[in-house]
Amino acid sequence: MAITPDLMDTTRIQRTMKVLPYQEAKAGTARFIEESLGESSEVTDWDLSFDEYIEEHKNSRLLFCWYAKGIGIVFSPSDHHGVWAMQREGIKGKGILPDYALEVLERIAKEKALA
């Protein structure tokens, strides 16, 4: 699964975008990693990279929004980088945000005076 322009729900993004406190981001990332393990008890480097992203932005402003139904995004307007996680229709996934999505997200963040 990938983040594609046809999934982008800008109305939902505008309505749900908010500043994400570090503790909330940390807890959410840990919960998602734990839930995505399923029967496997081994955390991968890919899983840990999402936790590392939150740690690296501990002192930065992180924003959260729902990109589409079941797809959450955490991103940092200051370094033009972000991650997404999805749980919908029995499918789970996560990845790094593509540039076209960041452009839209950063524009909306500026409009809402969050960036």
- Which pLDDT belongs to residue 77? 92
Q: Determine contact, residues 95/105, Cβ cutoff 8 Å.
A: no
Tokens (6 digits) for 76: 């940092």
* Domains of the chain: total: 1
- Which pLDDT belongs to residue 66? 92
- Which pLDDT belongs to residue 111? 95
pTM: 0.84
Range of the domain at 40: 5-111
Can you list the residues of the chain whose pLDDT is less than 70? 1-2, 4, 36-41
E-strand ranges in 20-109 read: 63-68, 71-76, 81-88, 91-96
